[in-house]
A = this chain, B = another copy of it.
Amino acid sequence: MQTQARATTRTGPAVRLEAVTKDFGTVRAVDAVDLTVHEGEFFTLLGPSGSGKTTLLRLVAGFEQPTGGRIELAGDDVTGTPPNRRDVHTVFQDYALFPQMSVEQNVAYALTVRGVRKAERLARAHEALTTVRLDGFAARRPAELSGGQRQRVALARALVDRPAVLLLDEPLGALDLALRQEMQTELKELQRTTGITFLLVTHDQDEALTMSDRIAVVRDGRIEQTGPPVEVYERPATAFVAGFVGTTNLLRGEAAVRVVGRPGTYSIRPERILLTDPAEASAREPAEGSARQSAESSAETSADGRRTVTGRITDIVHAGAHTRFTVMLPYGDRLIVHRQNLTGLPESARPDGEIGLSWDERDAFPVPS
């Protein structure tokens, strides 16, 4: 029946959720979510633990039935359809490989249950294993594989009959960093070459940012923001998104007035702040008209739209590719500054040194709180 599903002309986006709600007893895990994933897209659900990402994915796969709303796959309403009749496959976080079957049998499973002939089954299983570079491992049992290899078998198993949508629930969560980075590249590559729609769940912002075409940030069963990685990162819709996607300096109330110069809530990314000599900072020319230079503000805005401020470095941590400076401003505000480890560090960038900070005014963007 999956072949049939594929044969029908697609009449809509790969996945569409309309006002989908899911309650577990009194817990509302998913709360009136609208979501559209386009065909061929690499879409990521990003959110903290317990935000409802897995539940959303399980609703799409059909393991859970929504309490309200409707779910469409390729334009067809599948709200009541059981998992085995949906043209989607899942890569589980724990891989869920069948322990008693060989790698080959695992990968061929979707074909076996559809009654595909043995010869074709094996041919296609090997093709899928080749795609994930595991063609030599067909005869092994899952227990005889390393974590990364298992992950790839799970992938091959889900890809073998080219489902319309592939669902991935934190597929890299159990791997160590080096392997995780390697697998990220591979996954992205695979999605590109197969053209299958990927719907990925993760709580790792790096993973979401580097792999996705679009990201939906989930919080407490609701979607806070949907958009391409750059947009989500550069223009977070809420303070929560700003904080969860990347590190940020959040400034509210008085601190915002003092540092940014305006009341409200503002976010400044640590990597957007430049370290300068304090002398240089004070030498900058203030902007024309002092309306923008409020009395309480400890910072100044120069004519070229850059805002400068001086402070004292309280902590320096060498974090490999960048160094993290913690700078204490007058009035007790604290800013985190990241600086790529290149040459040309100002003299005073040492513990307890007086330092100048400057950023483009537009980099301190307001966020609804």
Residues of A within 8 A of B (CB): 48-49, 146-147, 176-179, 181, 203-206, 209-210, 229-230, 233, 243-247, 269-272, 274, 317-322, 324, 338-343, 360
Contact = CB atoms under 8 A, between A and B. Distances in A.
A233 B360 contact: no
Contact of A177 (B178, B205, B341): B205
B210 A342 contact: no
27 contacts: A48-B176, A49-B146, A49-B176, A49-B179, A176-B203, A177-B203, A178-B243, A181-B247, A205-B320, A206-B319, A209-B319, A210-B318, A210-B319, A210-B324, A229-B318, A233-B320, A245-B320, A246-B321, A247-B321, A269-B321, A270-B321, A271-B321, A271-B340, A271-B341, A272-B341, A321-B322, A322-B340
Contacts of A319: 206, 209-210
B340 A340 contact: yes
So how many copies of this chain end up in the complex? 2
Contacts of A146: 49
A243 B320 CA distance: 12
A342 B204 contact: no
Given A49-B179, A339-B340, 8 more contacts: A178-B203, A178-B243, A181-B247, A205-B320, A230-B318, A233-B320, A245-B320, A340-B340
Contacts of A247: 181, 321
A257 B319 CA distance: 30
A23 B318 CA distance: 36
B49 A318 contact: no
Contacts of A176: 48-49, 203-204
Nearest to A177: B204
A44 to B, nearest CB: 13
A154 to B, nearest CB: 18
Which of A181, A243, A269, A270 is packed against the most chain B CB atoms within 10 Å? A269
**Closest 6 pairs (CB-CB, A-B):** A340-B340, A271-B321, A176-B203, A246-B320, A230-B318, A209-B320
